[in-house]
Structure 1
């Protein structure tokens, strides 16, 4: 009975305060670029400061931008993008910058159809949405979970925004029947997501790429069966929200010149 209550509380707690946005409207895409600039350029110093306060790159022209909106304030609380690849011209970042980091040749992107591979990147949560004690440790900006304070009875202390972003991206990928999703992340972030039940599989060693990161792959189709119960219900709720809004039918937006530096 307690486990059932915990499961329901995770989904209801998230739905009370947040909602997914994968509309790729001009407003949401611009907000995504702004959050990325705030986190990756201003806070983490990993990207140059730009006059327009928007962090963009060439991969955004074939990306789906997933955001989490804070219901009460109607402001965006986090973002992540899904980089798609429908042709050889639309390379993934892992192919351009880190191909040699993939040591398990079974999972080379070239082994799969271009339309069946994607990469998740640029997860970012603004500082003012990380004020809880649980989210103030190093790594929270890009979605890590503080393993030292995790326990089964403290599920409410998870960084719901980061988890919600990954589950929003997963929901889109399930609807699009995508089987191979690459991520270049710090191993501790992958461990954090495994605590939730996201089956991150490491396919290479740690390399220096915007910090110490390793290549991982995940099959979105396997996610529902692996998620801890509460987060499984959260994924179901997010999939329902996205489906009702028509978001799962969206395509990667065309380049938006008005948002370019």
Structure 2
């Protein structure tokens, strides 16, 4: 047991990630919807408040998604992300906005893929200037400009969410992750050894973003070479479920 707990103390000591089941975890999922409203309606202005009754943001993809939250020691929601699964015609939300791909890009099978969506951190937990990233991440760049899916992220919250997505993906035979994000966020993930490959030009999708894809087998090899302790911590989430 100690071998499993030790990595968590290093990479995400202040936060714990967990999957949120909307119909089972009702109060927790309402807190998630309220955070989504705060970020997408009040802070970023991506959505109109009048279109989100009750101060909670939802959309048509929620029923076809796996939801994850990062909780602080008081069990309050500090961050959120979802994995959107392919729809009935095997497509993803980003494909309705990022319709052009770079030359020679071949998309992986939809049945093995999911789209990272609504990645966000609560305002009072976003990384402040001078805060240190987790072990293994570079500190040679300033904080990025705000990105639509997550602005100035707390590294611990980000890692706790990615750990949960990774565990879910392994358990459900998902190998590829899509994400529409700003270049600044892609650079952060690369420095944290989560490299995504850009597959299309930038477009307006809740702000200027480009589509990216990551192969989890490639990410595993990169982490095994550059930060094996982080990979062990990521994998330990699978053992705990």
How far apart in 1 are the matches of 2:149 and 2:120?
Answer: 5
Q: 1:199 aligns with which of 195, 202, 205?
A: 195
Kindly indicate whether residue 28 of structure 2 is the aligned counterpart of residue 28 of structure 1.
yes
Is the 8 Å Cα contact of residues 22 and 242 (structure 1) preserved in structure 2? no
- Structure 2, unaligned runs of 5 or more: 132-142
Equivalences for residues 29-178 of structure 1 within 5 A = 29-49=29-49, 50-71=52-73, 73-85=74-86, 87-88=88-89, 91-98=91-98, 100-108=99-107, 112=109, 114-130=110-126, 132-134=128-130, 138-139=145-146, 142-143=149-150, 159-178=155-174
Is the 8 Å Cα contact of residues 80 and 119 (structure 2) preserved in structure 1? yes
Is the 8 Å Cα contact of residues 127 and 155 (structure 2) preserved in structure 1? no
Aligned residues: 221
Is the 8 Å Cα contact of residues 184 and 213 (structure 1) preserved in structure 2? yes
TM-score normalised to structure 1 length:
0.73
- Structure 1, unaligned runs of 5 or more: 1-7, 147-157, 247-261
Is the 8 Å Cα contact of residues 186 and 196 (structure 2) preserved in structure 1? yes
How far apart in 1 are the matches of 2:48 and 2:228?
Answer: 38
How far apart in 1 are the matches of 2:210 and 2:182?
Answer: 6
- SS of 2:211's partner is strand
User: CA offsets, 1:50-86, max 9 Å, x none?
Assistant: 3311111101110001111112x11011001000126
The verdict on how the C-alpha distance between 1:28 and 1:237 changes in structure 2, with shifts beyond 3 A counting, is: farther
The verdict on how the C-alpha distance between 1:234 and 1:140 changes in structure 2, with shifts beyond 3 A counting, is: farther
> Which structure is richer in relative contact order (CA contacts within 8 A, separation 6 or more)?
1
Q: Equivalent residue for 2:9?
A: 12
- SS of 1:16's partner is coil
- SS of 1:45's partner is coil
CA RMSD of aligned residues (A): 2.9
User: CA offsets, 1:182-203, max 9 Å, x none?
Assistant: 1110011111100011120011
- SS of 1:177's partner is coil
